Chain A
Amino acid sequence: MSRSSMWEAVGGIVRRDLLLAMRRRSDAAMSVFFLVIVVSLFPLGVGPEPAVLRTIGPGVLWVAALLACLLSLARVFTADYVDGTLEQMVLVPQPLAVLVVGKVFAHWVISGLPIVLLSPLLGLQFGLSGESLGVLVMSLLLGTPTLSMIGTIGAALVLGVRGSGLLVALLVLPLYVPVLIFGAGAVTGSMAGIGAEANLSLLGACLVLSLFLAPWATAAALRIALE
């Protein structure tokens, strides 16, 4: 149970999940495509008025990012649950919550990071200025890990439950509200010229809070799901 063996275990999980994602690149690409499509639908629905698009841009981008994260949640534990690797993960001599952080990190790299990297392009579609694009990337960089953290609680709770896809949305979306408010607020704030720092630091606070609390809840939910 030394520290090095803990890193070995967490690193092992991250390496394995990234390797699996490399083998199935289409899975990771799907949530990105989803994001692009959803975001592109809005101008078609609302109309091409640049002023309107600029106003709704931050909210639309953030809601779409949130939904893309939600869609990818089903993948976090389901395969592990079905093939038995989750049992193995629960039965290792390291604290489960720490391993969960590894799982979440890998999940974020696969499904959250592409969203962050793609967001400036999508922001251009909505006529966001250079500075606002920077804030958008920054807010997503701070916010999407929180979304992954919170989302895995829901993913663990609904493991193997019938109708889990819809249920996880119902459980997780209310928990996403603060992140959405601060994230979209940061971009709106920078556009309105009142600065994004306060919102960004609140996003950071959310990340820290979720980093401390969510893994324990997820670990508890996983143990319950495996009983």
Chain B
Amino acid sequence: MLQAVTLSCRRGERRLFSDLTIKVEPGTLLAVVGENGSGKTSLLRIFSSLLPPDEGSILWDGEDIHQLKELYSGQLTYIGHLNGIKDDLTPLENVMSAINLTGEACSRTAAQEALEAIGLKRPVHRLPSKVLSQGQKRRVALARLWLSTRPLWLLDEPFTSLDAASTGVVTQRLHAHLQRGGLAVIVTHQEVDLPVERVQRLRLTG
């Protein structure tokens, strides 16, 4: 279970949000919506432990994530606003090195299956990523979701530059993750096509 307790955040002089308390239960998804600059991404970065909150804390199963440190990192898969892929590497190499980075081994076939699951065909796997379109690059980043065994997913605008079909595939993957008891926090400006009882919406007004 993921909890935010009396969270507040300001960037420079501007107060983004304050006294925010929210709970995300296993099997549910928190969709953070709001205008540009309302602090959605900051909130996600606070959840990821990249950004320390100005006040308040984030609890994972009742323990402060800044106490848990690397133990908490071992619980999450974070896909930020940046794709985290290298232009000079092929999609296949990108997926494999991203998984290696988390300390897990990743076989070539597993990576290929993940890329195919998100609709990237075999020939694309061997091109340098710099020739891919924005949507294809985003899909390379999201392919990690098919290899992730982590209970908590933090996704920043996962559907940006994805076509309808890919959006559907990612939504299905999210649904499967939630059905297995996973948690997710996503920042989005789109409606998420998931069963109502699984989705909790948080609107930041800025």
**Which residues of A line the B interface, CB within 8 A?**
1, 5-6, 8-9, 11-13, 15-16, 19-20, 23-24, 79, 82-85, 87-95, 226-227
- Distance from B23 Cβ to chain A, minimum over Cβ atoms (Å): 22
CA distance A88 to B141 in the complex (A): 11
Interface of B is mostly: loop
Pick the contact of A87 from B78, B85, B86 — CB < 8 Å? B78
A87 to B76, CA, bound (A): 13
A79: nearest residue on chain B (CB-CB)?
B86
Residue of B50, B87, B93, B102 ringed by the most chain A CB atoms within 10 A: B102
Contact A87 B80 (CB under 8 A): yes
User: A9–B96 Cα gap in the complex (Å)?
Assistant: 11
Contacts of A11 in B (CB 8 A): 100
- Whole-angstrom distance from the CB of A106 to the nearest CB of chain B? 12
Among B49, B70, B81, B89, chain A packs the most CB atoms within 10 A around the CB of B70
Residue of A nearest to B128 (CB): A23
Cβ–Cβ contact B84 & A87, under 8 A: yes
Question: B100 contacts which of A16, A20, A23, A82 (Cβ < 8 Å)?
Answer: A16
* The one of A1, A8, A20 that contacts B70, using a Cβ cutoff of 8 Å: A1
Q: Look across to chain A and name the residue whose beta carbon is closest to the beta carbon of B52.
A: A227
Interchain CB contact under 8 A, A16 and B103:
no
The 4 lowest CB-CB distance pairs between A and B, nearest first, are A84-B82, A12-B100, A5-B103, A93-B74
Q: Is B164 an interface residue, CB under 8 A from the partner? A: no
Residues of chain B whose beta carbon lies under 8 Å from any beta carbon of chain A: 48-52, 70-71, 73-74, 76, 78, 80-89, 93, 97-98, 100-105, 128
Contacts of A19 in B (CB 8 A): 89, 93
CA distance A108 to B49 in the complex (A): 30
Partner of A91, one of B49, B87, B93: B49
Q: Is the CB of A83 within 8 A of B85?
A: yes
Q: Is the CB of A88 within 8 A of B48?
A: no
B84 touches A88 (CB 8 A): yes
Closest to B103 in A: A5
Contact between chains at A88 and B103 (CB < 8 Å): no
- CA A12 to CA B82, docked complex, whole Å: 20
| Contact assessment for A84 and B97 in the assembled complex, using a CB-CB cutoff below 8 Å | no
Q: Which of chain A's residues have a CB closer than 8 A to the CB of B83?
A: 83-84
Q: How far is the CA of A85 from the CA of B80 in the complex (A)?
A: 10
Are A83 and B86 neighbours in the complex by a CB distance under 8 Å?
Answer: yes
Cβ-neighbour of A20 out of B74, B89, B104 (below 8 A): B89
Query: Which residue of chain B lies nearest to A84 when distances are taken between CB atoms in the complex?
Result: B82
Assuming the A-B contacts A226-B50, A227-B50, are A9 and B82 also in contact, with contact meaning beta carbons closer than 8 angstroms in the complex?
no
Q: Is the CB of B88 within 8 A of A24?
A: yes
Residues of B within 8 A of A8 (CB): 100, 103-105
Contact B97 A91 (CB under 8 A): no
Distance in angstroms between the alpha carbons of A82 and B74 in the assembled complex: 24
